[in-house]
Structures are given as C-alpha cells and as structure tokens.
Structure 1
Amino acid sequence: MDPQALIKRWLRKIGVEVGRTNPQVTLELLLPRLMFEFDVTCLADVGANDGRTTAGLRKGGYSGEIVSFEPDPAAFSVLASRAATDLLWRTHQTAIGRERNEKSLILSAGPTLGSFLPPDENAIRHWNFVSEPLNSITVPVQRLDSILPELVDLSVLDRIFLKMDIQGWDLEAFAGATGLLEKIVIIQTNLSLKTIYDGQPTYREQLDVFEAAGFEPAGFFPWPIMDHNWALIDVRTVFVRQGLRSNSKGTDVKSLA
C-alpha cells in the first residue's frame, strides 16, 4: 500500500482526517491569493488590534506596504512592537472614521471588543463573549483618505486592500475612505448577522453600501461562535471590485482548488 495511504489510515484510527486544503473556505489562504491576483500595493489595516492577523498576511507572502491603525493603547503597544522590525509596516495610534475629531472608545473585558458603540443589552445577557463596558477613553479619529496619503508615497496607493475590524464601526470608516475609493481593490470587513452593538448597521445595510460602491463578495467566513440555536452571529466577508481583471490567465471562471 502507498505510504501516504498507510499514514492516513493510521491517523483515521485515532480520529484525525487528512485531506487537501480548500482555500475557498480558508480566509488565511484566500487573502494572500487575492492580494497577489490584484497586485495589492498597500494594506490599509483599520482596527489592527495587536497586529497578529496582519502578521499572518506577511507570512502568507505579502511583501508590500502596510499601514496599521489602532486607537486602543494596550493593543497598539503590542502592535507597534510586532511591526518594529518590518521596514514596510507603519503603525499609528488613531481610529478611522467619517470625519476628523475625537471620540470616546468604549473598552470591554474582551480584548478585541473595544467599540465606539455600546454593547447591546440583549447580547450581554445571552453571549458570554460580550460584557458590560469597563471604561472609556478619548481617542483621535482621522479620515483614511486624508491620513493615508500623508504616510506613504502616492505611487503606493495604486491598489489598496482595505482591511477593517472595528466592531460595528466599519461603515463609518469606509465613509472616510471615499477619496481613495477608486484605488481600493479588496475589502475585508465583518457583517453582523445579529446585533452585538447598539446602533450598528445591519448586514443588509452593509451589503447595500459596498455594492453601491462597486464591490461584490468574494468570500464569507463565519466566526466560529454561534447563537443558542446555531444561528450565525458574525461573518468575516471579503469583497472585490466589480469588473477588475486579476493576474490569472485563461478562463473567466477561477478555481482556487
């Protein structure tokens, strides 16, 4: 018997199944492929938290400019340390929004759940990953289309991947990127199928905004936490610009298998 088949049979006996990875269902594999296919020249990392996810994109093969924005001082400290040895990775302790001002950032027990919106009371009662606010801090807010051209050479902004993870505030940040809209080729954001924060837009509203701006979905990746009835709460979603040709040659039907 083939040695690989023997190994698979042995692993199956102890409950481990081995097979070919399908990038279509793995965000960490899909993103580097899209970034290559669409010649991304700048990753605008909005709501970078501690930079762990962005570091994964570096490991996935992206070698271009990264500009990360994170307003939470604790998370920013780790982010800045992580990016310190990367000459093409810049970090800035600010939030991104619709207009330049200062806002109160609400901090919760969950290290990734800081938001400008208060947590929904129903979410606090039913989901243990949502907690009462601990405190709030005042942070600066900048428009992306104002601050990004000040930080990198304009030639770097030819093809932007806009990555957003800002807890119900994504559309506000997107509204602050309108001056760069024609340069954005890929968007990653979260669609909340259930309400986590008071006043957050519905996923239908989010889809409408991105579609109206000329983007269409390239992948939906459910957050691995579900409601009591197994209903999805949050979905990480990747959009690509409509009508944009990728580097792949040949057929118009693409396969990542």
Structure 2
Amino acid sequence: MRKLIQQILRKNGFQISKYPDDDSVIRMKMMTHFNIDTLLDIGANIGQYALRMRAMGYQKKIISFEPLKSAFEELKKASFNDHTWLINNYALGSEDTSSTINVANNSFSSSILNMLPAHLSSAPESKYVAKEEIDIKKIDSIFKAFCAKGESVMIKIDTQGYEKNVLDGASESLDDIKIIQLEMSIAPLYENEMTYLEMIKYLDNKGYQLFNLENGFTDSITGQLRQVDGIFVQKHIL
C-alpha cells in the first residue's frame, strides 16, 4: 500500500517528504479533541489529503469528492483497500446542476472558475490545458446519505476559489458540521473568489470562529504567501 501511495504521488509531481509535519500534527490533535468521526474531503484530487490523514492515524470515515475523471481514477487506486474511505466522482457547489471545469496542467489547480494572471505568474505549471463536463451537487443534497445523526463531522474544501459556492450549498447542514477547513487566498487568484478576510467574516456570520491557520501556496519566484488554509470551529462548542 505504501509503495502504491508513493507511486501515485510521484506520478503527479509531488515530492515525498517525511511526516509528520507540524500542520498535520496540530490538525490531528484538533480532530481528536473534537471527536471527529466523519471527514468530507471536498476537492480530493488524487487523495493527497486523505492519505495524509491516514498516515497521521485517522482511521475513521472519509468521504471524498473529485469531479475530474483522470484524478478520480487515481483516487480509486489510492482508496481501493480502504473500506472506510468512500469516493464520489462529482463536485460540490451551490446547486444541483452540471458545469464545465477548467483542467489545469498540474491537475490540482483545476477549477470551475477562471484563473487570474496572479496565479499563473506564480505557478506557470497550473495553466489550463482542457475543459471537462462535470456534475455538481449540494452538500445539503448528499449530507444525510453519508453522515448519520449524531456523528461529529468535519469538512475540508480545496476547490480552487469555489469554496464559498460549496458552503452556499450547505445552509441546511452547517448545524451538523463541527469543523470547516478550507483554502483561502490572500488576494484573489480566481475570478469571483472570496478573499481570506471576506471568508473569515462570512463564516463568523455562520457561527464559526477561526481556530487555526496552515501554510499554503507561496509564489515560487518571489516567496509571497498567496494562500493559507483556515480551520474554523463552531463557536458554541469552543
């Protein structure tokens, strides 16, 4: 299994490094503290996030969502022998519909939104090279199928600027979601993307408090921090 994981990551341009890293250790402590037993991995790509959580010792339920056909095939391989890891070949958004996703050369920068020049100049390997038709569903439409009443749920959203759209489709489910981890841009990298300050305010109004920050995307030329991961926790459980 370990060799398969390494092959998948190397094939897709990822460097194998020693774990645990500080962010992963802290995240695992947080998930243990809040008794998380169901993790929705939204924007799973080839399973990098889920594999990292498994490596850190999280053995409970993971439900991954990945719309890209090629990435989903790799996700199948990564999750094949893991019976508590379920995978789905569609995106999550603000409505149940179909759309077109822009496929990036590096796969994981693919987005429904158009990429801004600031992103492309910081990471030329992320340029769009194709388009693909995908299905989109709301969290509210699928939540009860995967999350039983009383489960402690965390969602991780890595959808390249589309994070607010995902949250807009979860208005009926947020009461049952303890923790939200999502990618936030310091300044927009995709058209119509919400910045980190706007997202903090948006989630504050939804009853979530910023709990932690993780390192994100840095400009490979200038060293400028472009993105961070924000982890938000329901205020009433703090």
Q: Structure 1 length as normaliser, TM-score?
A: 0.79
Secondary structure, aligned partner of 1:119: coil
Q: After alignment, is 195-204 or 108-117 more displaced?
A: 195-204
User: 96, 116, 138: which is aligned to 1:120?
Assistant: 116
* Partners of 1:105 and 1:115 within 8 A in 2: yes
For structure 2, list consecutive stretches of 5 or more residues without a partner in the other structure: 1-18
User: 174, 178, 190: which is aligned to 2:183?
Assistant: 190
Counterpart residue identity of residue 148, structure 2: L
- Does residue 141 of structure 1 match 2:136? yes
Q: Residues 26-175 of structure 1 correspond to what in structure 2 (within 5 A)?
A: 26-124=22-120, 126-129=121-124, 131-150=126-145, 152=146, 154-155=148-149, 158-175=151-168
* Partners of 1:219 and 1:238 within 8 A in 2: yes
Secondary structure, aligned partner of 2:52: helix
Please state how far the C-alpha of 1:41 moved relative to its aligned partner: 2.0
Distance 2:199 2:47 in 1: 25
Cα-to-partner distance string for 1:84-113 (whole Å, 9 max, x where unaligned): 111111000000000000010001212211
Distance 1:59 1:202 in 2: 31
* Partners of 1:119 and 1:131 within 8 A in 2: no
Secondary structure, aligned partner of 2:198: helix
Higher relative contact order (CA 8 A, sep 6+): 1
Q: Which residue does 1:243 correspond to in 2?
A: 236
Please state how far the C-alpha of 1:130 moved relative to its aligned partner: 5.5
Q: Structure 2 length as normaliser, TM-score?
A: 0.85
Distance 1:63 1:121 in 2: 40
Percent identity between the aligned chains? 24
Counterpart residue identity of residue 44, structure 2: A
Distance 2:46 2:27 in 1: 19
* Partners of 1:119 and 1:130 within 8 A in 2: no
Distance 1:226 1:128 in 2: 7
Q: Residues 224-243 of structure 1 correspond to what in structure 2 (within 5 A)?
A: 225-226=218-219, 230-243=223-236
Counterpart residue identity of residue 233, structure 2: V
Please state how far the C-alpha of 1:153 moved relative to its aligned partner: 5.5
Alignment size in residue pairs: 220
Q: Which residue does 1:4 correspond to in 2?
A: none
Counterpart residue identity of residue 163, structure 1: K
Cα-to-partner distance string for 1:36-76 (whole Å, 9 max, x where unaligned): 11111210110011112211112222222111000011111
| CA 87–231 in structure 1, closer or farther in 2 if over 3 Å, else same | same
Distance 1:195 1:203 in 2: 9
